[in-house]
Amino acid sequence: MMKQQWIQSKIKSMVVACAAIAIVAGSVRAATIQTADEKTISATISGYENGKLILQPKESDATTKLPLADITLISYTWQERVAATPNTTSSATRPKSLRWQVEFGGTDRLTATLVAWNETGVCLASDTLVGEFVIPADQLRSIWTTTDNLVKKAKEISITARGQDIAYVSKDGEVKAVAGFATGCDGEFLNFKYDGQDHGIKLDRLVGLVLAQREIPAEREMYETFMLSTPGEMISGRITGMDKDAFHVTVLGGGDVKKNIAVPIAKIDKIAVKNGRLVWLGDLKPALVQEVPYLDYMMSYRVNQSLTGGPLKMQDTFVDRGIAVHSKCFLTYDLSGAFEKLRMTVGFQQPEGKMGRAALRVLGDEKVLWEDLDAKGDGKSVPLDLNIQGVKMLRLEADYGKDQDVGDRVIWGDARLTKPAK
């Protein structure tokens, strides 16, 4: 009962805060919209209704509706960046200096105040967003103080936790790491159990807390990630509505609590639609991975980075997203016949792959959709637009070429799948 009362009190405070949005007049909310069919639309977004955005295209008085699922990315442009009213909810009850870089869910990251935390959930308040919101406790990945020099010292400490949480605590300008189990906050203290006993760590001495790695199930349904104007900040959820000042969003997280917030439009740089009609192949987990070591050293495939952790640079282009592999590597994906198109650009990582020669194939249900049995690292990258309608199992093959595996660093660049339009 106490847990439910705590949750309900936080929901009530969220509703009150969401009603208090104020944006300075005079902003221009022009947006560039990229679609799953690789079209670009310039328009003003004026509303949201039944899963569709209401658009007013540039130089037109007419409005049109575009399903959110047909969109891949919305980029806002501004003639004048304006600010939302700062979130002051519960400010009288928390020290303003205790602000944290909070990481939660899959990739979400915010600068926020830790309002409350128990075994049920974590309540956060952010100046960027409007309203406190609750995330399940098992969604929290880490919190770090905003004092950069202490964080740097903490991250230089090597410690083996073996399934435990790690608390980094400061004293006299130095930082100590302690392994144990975080159970929540009580006033100005972090409840932390170590050496078999319960301890309280003062929050003003806490440099950071890294929670034991928990596997967060991948989202299968469509959702949106809001990339905010504060560098590095983002939050994911599902749009439930929109007014002239903000998107209304249910934060991802699961459980019975509806974590509704308002994301001020003035604070948004981009909105990425995930699991709509367009799905990035790298976001899917392969059903089967077949890899052979390179000179007895396994160079496993990497997503959205090169095999050495750098950017994806091909012969004549850079790509932000893609799958980097080294021969011999076969990746098989279970598509269950849900997609109609596979588009990507295939090439070799530069300069490491300049001497590469590999046999490359794309197969759908064991049928060759495309192949280049003598692809060369000093040639041009190749754009592909393949029909995969009805394909259940998709396989990308990077096999040995005529020079064995020397330099065979292949990039399946910007590999993306498109579902049929409804």
For 355-399, write each residue's pLDDT tens digit: 999 999 999 999 999 999 999 999 999 999 999 999 999 999 999
Which pLDDT does position 242 carry in this prediction?
93
Residue 381 DSSP symbol: -
Shortest CA distance to 419 belongs to which of 307, 323, 338? 338
CATH number, domain 279-418: 2.60.120.1060
Q: Where in the chain is the domain with CATH 2.60.120.1060?
A: 279-418
The dihedrals phi and psi of 153, each to the nearest 5 degrees, come to -65, -40
Tens digit of each residue's pLDDT (9 = 90 or more) over 246-264: 999 988 864 445 567 899 9
- For the chain, list residues with pLDDT below 70: 1-29, 78-97, 253-259, 404-405
DSSP per-residue string spanning 97-138: T--EEEEETTTEEEEEEEEEE-SSEEEEE-SSSBS-EEEEGG
Residue whose entry in the numeric block shows the structure tokens 């052979």 = 292
Which pLDDT belongs to residue 219? Answer: 77
pLDDT of residue 5: 47
The pLDDT value recorded for residue 256 is 47
What does the alpha-carbon distance between residue 198 and residue 164 come to, in Å, rounded to a whole number? 14
Q: What is the pTM of this model?
A: 0.80
The Cα–Cα gap between 103 and 129 comes to 15
C-beta neighbour count of 272 within 10 angstroms? 19
pLDDT at res. 98 = 77
- Report the pLDDT value the prediction gives residue 88, as an integer from 0 to 100: 45
Instruction: For residue 281, give the DSSP letter.
Output: G
